[in-house]
Chains A and B, each alone.
Chain A
Amino acid sequence: MLEIAGISKRFGALPVLREVSLSVAPGEVVVVIGPSGSGKTTLLRCINLLEDYESGTIAVDGEPIGYRLEGGTRIRMSERDIAAARAKIGMVFQSFNLFPHMSVLQNIVAAPVRVKGVPRARAEARAGELLAMVGLSDKSGEYPVRLSGGQQQRVAIARALAMEPKIMLFDEVTSALDPELVGEVLAAMRQLAQGGMTMVVVTHEMSFARDIADRIVFIDGGVIVEQGKPDEILFAPRTDRVRTFLKRYNDRYRI
């Protein structure tokens, strides 16, 4: 479903991703963990080309996004093709990023109607279903500023899903939330995972990671240090780096 092949990226002189390769199967939920500055968010943003990368390729469902290889040379796709590829990838951000001048309903239907050309009535019906799924049926006329962080984030999930994406990317989506609002967002994500959605999730919520992940990938210093089943990574890590990370985490949060 998702094929990341040897991507590297640097910010100036600082390498943030070094030859990272990762493939995600259809319906698989991959959770990416790692210390701050390890490159996990950057990796996620490279997938839909919100960040550019210097080498490597990424494909979703066999279709390249961003760069294609032609006879060994890497060619950047046109803005139009990149936009079309992004339309198939849903993304949810740490800071929600709803459009503040649009109502909840407008936020959700804008892209399906204007990007995919879905008839407005159908898009609104679908938005209604999605809002019901995230438990916000009564909020469709509200503006984002009147919603709590947890509600905004659930709208953001509905907005991404409205494009009927093949894969969903979650970038630390609970990090900006009050602790008591985290649960409602995680519940929506759990439901999505159970529905068979392919997901790549960057998170600091270890218990959630354990709960939802088919596979956990640990990134540090721009490389994948270790990956495997949640219980292997979280309870029987093979590398010292992961052990140290988890020990620090446990000392602070006690899962």
Chain B
Amino acid sequence: MNNLNPLIHSFPYLLRGAAMTMLMAASAVVPATILGVLLALLQVFGNRAVRAAVIAYLFLIRGIPLLVLLTFAYYLLPLTGIDLPPFWGVVLVIAFYYAAFMSEVFRAGILSLPQAQWDAARSLGMKRPLMLQIVILPQALRLAAPPFVSLCVSLVKATSLVSIVGLWELTMASREVVERTLAPFQVFIGAGAIYFCICYALALYGRHLERRVLHGH
């Protein structure tokens, strides 16, 4: 325990794992955000059937652990004949999972805008797509920024689950090192510290955004 050599020697390897973690998180956060905005818009503006479908999706996804979804997709995808590289498979599952949470954050942002903003945009002759583009979404996304960032933090940590289905990233790399060195404490303290640094940096950025939202324009 008091010998840090295993950690020092394996640290570059762990950092490569961390790079993969970040790549995975970044690849998932983009489609998750786009899908999240889309689902939020459908839920606010869709007709009754569309809204019901979106709500059913949200309840389904939010009621199932990500690990179960990942494992399920791991067994299901090959059967459906969809031939995805495993990396993109898990990225998609994470994206669809987080999109459900993000859509609620964006929906709250849209609904928290005063009716008066809609009135003003309408009175100027704007049609709905333009209104959304230049009046509603810029403000709603700003309001949604702080909770959005904390979802991103959660998403980064969730990528650790993919090691269960055999994908290599920081957690998987740590387990490999532990198997070689039999030094679980040192190695996982190192891995934990790396996760913490990534997430702390994100959280700081979130705080920065929050300050801008509250005090800026």
Chain A residues within CB distance 8 Å of chain B: 48, 50, 79-80, 83-91, 93, 95, 97-101, 110-111, 114-116, 143-145, 159-160, 163
Q: Which of A85, A99, A110 has most chain B Cβ within 10 Å? A: A99
Interface residues of B in 134-173 (CB under 8 A from A): 134-135, 138-139, 142
Q: Are B124 and A101 in contact (CB under 8 A)?
A: no
Q: Which of B119, B128, B142, B217 contacts A93 (CB 8 A)?
A: B119
Q: Which chain A residues lie closer than 8 Å to B128 at the CB level? A: 79
Q: Are A99 and B123 in contact (CB under 8 A)?
A: no
What's the tally of chain B residues with a CB closer than 8 Å to chain A? 19
Q: Which chain A residues lie closer than 8 Å to B121 at the CB level? A: 99
Q: Give the distance to chain A from B22, nearest Cβ to Cβ, in Å.
A: 30
Q: Which of B116, B119, B135 has most chain A Cβ within 10 Å? A: B119
Q: Which of A50, A91, A115, A160 contacts B126 (CB 8 A)?
A: A115
Is B127's CB within 8 Å of the partner chain A? yes
CA distance A151 to B119 in the complex (A): 20
Chain B residues within CB distance 8 Å of chain A: 116-117, 119-128, 130, 134-135, 138-139, 142, 217
Q: Are A101 and B126 in contact (CB under 8 A)?
A: no
**With A99-B120, A100-B139, A101-B139 given, is the CB distance from A163 to B217 under 8 Å?**
no
Q: Which chain A residues lie closer than 8 Å to B135 at the CB level? A: 99
Q: Which chain A residues lie closer than 8 Å to B142 at the CB level? A: 101
Q: Give the distance to chain B from A152, nearest Cβ to Cβ, in Å.
A: 12
Q: Are B127 and A80 in contact (CB under 8 A)?
A: yes
**With A99-B117, A143-B217 given, is the CB distance from A86 to B139 under 8 Å?**
no
8 interchain residue pairs of minimum CB distance: A87-B125, A97-B120, A111-B124, A91-B123, A143-B217, A97-B116, A86-B125, A115-B125
Q: Are A89 and B123 in contact (CB under 8 A)?
A: yes
Q: Are A86 and B123 in contact (CB under 8 A)?
A: yes
26 contacts between A and B (CB under 8 A): A48-B122, A50-B122, A50-B123, A79-B127, A84-B125, A86-B122, A86-B124, A89-B123, A90-B123, A93-B119, A99-B135, A101-B138, A110-B124, A110-B134, A111-B124, A111-B125, A111-B126, A114-B134, A115-B124, A115-B126, A115-B130, A116-B125, A159-B124, A160-B123, A160-B124, A163-B124
Q: Which chain B residues lie closer than 8 Å to A84 at the CB level? A: 125
Q: Which chain B residues lie closer than 8 Å to A114 at the CB level? A: 126, 130, 134
Which A-chain residue is minimally distant from B133 (CB atoms)? A114
Q: Which chain A residues lie closer than 8 Å to B116 at the CB level? A: 93, 95, 97
Q: Give the distance to chain B from A87, nearest Cβ to Cβ, in Å.
A: 3
Q: Which chain B residues lie closer than 8 Å to A87 at the CB level? A: 124-125
Q: Give the distance to chain A from B65, nearest Cβ to Cβ, in Å.
A: 38
**With A100-B139, A114-B134, A145-B217 given, is the CB distance from A93 to B120 under 8 Å?**
yes
